[in-house]
């Protein structure tokens, strides 16, 4: 259930306390005797609704209303006035007040006014609650205590507020780039629109252009009779996520650049100019600067895609997050497989902390899933996780396949000489 916060601003304590007693059962109520303290509190903890007296000492209610609406245009404000001064009321309504009530206050009527006001933002609050629920359930890669991941999430929360600024996510495989793209979409003004994902590496280079931009009938052999909308059109008023964008051909890069600059494009085989609005989020695990030097990636496209660059830290760079993540996945897969593991053994924890994560969070998740599914004890062990035992010094025992062997020279080797050398050991 959504619980709304209401600020009551009035210099008469009997008024503030009467209102608080009448509505605090249903709402979180905070009272203030002047506009200055209320404005400070609004900056730190914005409420859903403000009941604001017009005749306040210091900054007047009308002046405070102007400040509130300038900083928080969507905030609901109901003015309280001791007499129905038409000029003052009109000024307040022009500044954006939702309604006004006249003293002496009739609590039944005030509660109806409050309820009607909050009904106007109920849908927005429900959407925000759903967004947060989605993010908590679908973004386990951001669980943790490290400054690195907290900084990334704070930055994402800030840049997501733009409806169309392109964002480029850079990070190793398995760091959660697609999940971050989802976080950007669901925290953006475009959250009601579609989130369209394109894996540029999975689509053959001959087809990537028609998949992105669509095609008209007869555009090429095998084309649908009616033509086809492209993925860019599918993302209209939402977010287009281009995963592995470094795999785009130079020809497709040129057309994508034009779209990013103008919002316009043509379907393959078409002559009609199409225009849509969408936000482009792209991701890569490649070193784009090296690709630019090798003429494999357009420099101008890089600058358009990377108006905002987000570097996603690898799991090896945020080791303090390994165990919180592991415990989260343990809880998730215990529920999924109906297992009763009490936790992770100290030896297994040590193994996880000393492991070199080439697959990052995805590898950790897969390892825990496998361990929960196949494990039989009360705790997850090294054996359940498929990890080697630790040496006394804390390092891992190397797996056989990881031991480097010398290369065989082109002239071959003399087996008799090798046998004699082995006999010495």
What Å distances lie between residue 403 and 29, 155, 353, 395, CA to CA? Answer: 66, 41, 21, 15
Is 414 within the bounds of a domain? no
pTM equals: 0.61
CATH number assigned to the domain comprising residue 21: 3.40.50.2300
331 and 391 fall within a common domain: yes
With 90 as the cut, is the pLDDT of residue 355 above it? Answer: yes
According to the model, what pLDDT value does residue 410 have?
55
Mean pLDDT of the chain: 86
According to the model, what pLDDT value does residue 233 have?
93
| Continuous segment of H or E residues that includes residue 343 | strand 343-344
179 and 212 fall within a common domain: yes
Backbone angles phi, psi at 402, to 5 degrees: -95, -5
178 and 246 fall within a common domain: yes
Q: What is the DSSP letter of 202?
A: T
Is 70 within the bounds of a domain? yes
Is 278 within the bounds of a domain? yes
According to the model, what pLDDT value does residue 139 have?
57
Domain count, the chain: 3
Domain membership of residue 325 as a residue range: 316-402
What Å distances lie between residue 129 and 44, 186, 234, CA to CA? Answer: 20, 11, 26
Boundary of a domain, candidates 100, 130, 160:
130
148 and 292 fall within a common domain: yes
Strand order in the sheet with 99-102: 28-32, 5-9, 49-53, 76-81, 99-102
Boundary of a domain, candidates 130, 159, 194:
130
Boundary of a domain, candidates 63, 98, 130:
130
What Å distances lie between residue 55 and 33, 84, 89, 183, CA to CA? Answer: 11, 12, 12, 44
164 and 290 fall within a common domain: yes
154 and 281 fall within a common domain: yes
With 80 as the cut, is the pLDDT of residue 136 above it? Answer: no
pLDDT tens digits, one per residue of 230-239: 999 999 999 9
CB-CB contact of 199 with 244 (8 Å):
yes
Is 413 within the bounds of a domain? no
299 and 357 fall within a common domain: no
With 70 as the cut, is the pLDDT of residue 423 above it? Answer: no
According to the model, what pLDDT value does residue 2 have?
72
Rounded to 10°, the helix 107-138/13-23 angle is: 60
Range of weakest confidence among 100-114, 122-136, 203-217, 275-289: 122-136
162 and 126 fall within a common domain: no
With a pLDDT cut of 90, the percent of the chain lying above it is: 58
For 406, left (φ over 0), alpha (ψ -120 to 50), or beta?
Answer: beta
According to the model, what pLDDT value does residue 3 have?
83
Nearest to 314 by CA among 361, 368, 246: 361
Rounded to 10°, the helix 35-44/61-71 angle is: 10
Is 418 within the bounds of a domain? no
According to the model, what pLDDT value does residue 135 have?
58
156 and 257 fall within a common domain: yes
Is 136 within the bounds of a domain? no
Is 164 within the bounds of a domain? yes
CATH number assigned to the domain comprising residue 300: 3.40.50.300
With 70 as the cut, is the pLDDT of residue 141 above it? Answer: no
157 and 278 fall within a common domain: yes
Is 204 within the bounds of a domain? yes
With 60 as the cut, is the pLDDT of residue 174 above it? Answer: yes
154 and 302 fall within a common domain: yes
Range of weakest confidence among 44-58, 79-93, 224-238, 334-348: 79-93
34 and 113 fall within a common domain: yes
With 60 as the cut, is the pLDDT of residue 391 above it? Answer: no
């Amino acid at each position: 259930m959504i619980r709304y916060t209401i600020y009551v601003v009035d210099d008469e304590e009997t008024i503030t306390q009467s209102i608080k007693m009448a509505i605090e059962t249903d709402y979180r109520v905070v009272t203030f005797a002047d506009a200055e303290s209320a404005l400070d509190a609004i900056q730190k903890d914005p409420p859903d609704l403000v009941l604001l007296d017009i005749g306040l000492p210091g900054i007047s209610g009308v002046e405070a209303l102007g400040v509130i609406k300038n900083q928080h245009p969507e905030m609901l404000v109901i003015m309280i006035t001791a007499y129905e001064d038409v000029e003052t009321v009109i000024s307040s309504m022009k500044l954006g007040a939702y309604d006004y009530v006249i003293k002496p206050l009739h609590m039944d009527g005030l509660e109806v006014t409050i309820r009607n006001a909050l009904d106007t933002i109920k849908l927005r609050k429900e959407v925000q609650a759903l967004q947060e629920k989605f993010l908590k359930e679908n973004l386990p890669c951001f669980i943790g205590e490290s400054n690195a991941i907290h900084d990334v999430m704070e930055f994402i929360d800030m840049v997501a507020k733009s409806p169309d600024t392109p964002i480029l996510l850079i990070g190793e495989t398995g760091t959660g780039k697609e999940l971050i793209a989802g976080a950007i979409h669901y925290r953006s003004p475009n959250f009601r629109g579609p989130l369209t994902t394109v894996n540029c590496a999975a689509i053959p280079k001959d087809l990537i252009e028609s998949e992105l931009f669509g095609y008209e009938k007869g555009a090429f052999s095998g084309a649908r009779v009616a033509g086809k909308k492209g993925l860019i059109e599918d993302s209209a008023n939402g977010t287009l996520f281009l995963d592995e964008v470094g795999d785009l051909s130079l020809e497709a890069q040129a057309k994508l650049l034009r779209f990013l600059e103008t919002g316009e494009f043509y379907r393959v085989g078409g002559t009609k100019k199409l225009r849509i609005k969408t936000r482009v989020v792209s991701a890569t695990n490649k070193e784009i600067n090296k690709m630019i030097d090798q003429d494999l990636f357009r420099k101008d496209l890089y600058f358009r895609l990377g108006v905002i660059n987000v570097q996603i830290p690898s799991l090896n760079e945020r080791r303090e997050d390994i165990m919180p993540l592991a415990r989260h996945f343990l809880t998730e897969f215990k529920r999924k497989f109906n297992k009763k593991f009490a936790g992770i053994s100290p030896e297994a924890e040590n193994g996880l902390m000393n492991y070199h994560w080439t697959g990052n969070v995805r590898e950790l998740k897969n390892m825990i899933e496998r361990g929960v599914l196949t494990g039989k004890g009360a705790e997850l062990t090294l054996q359940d996780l498929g990890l080697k035992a630790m040496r006394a010094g804390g390092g891992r025992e190397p797996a056989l396949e990881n031991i480097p062997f010398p290369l065989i020279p082109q002239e071959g080797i003399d087996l008799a000489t090798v046998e004699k050398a082995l006999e010495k050991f």
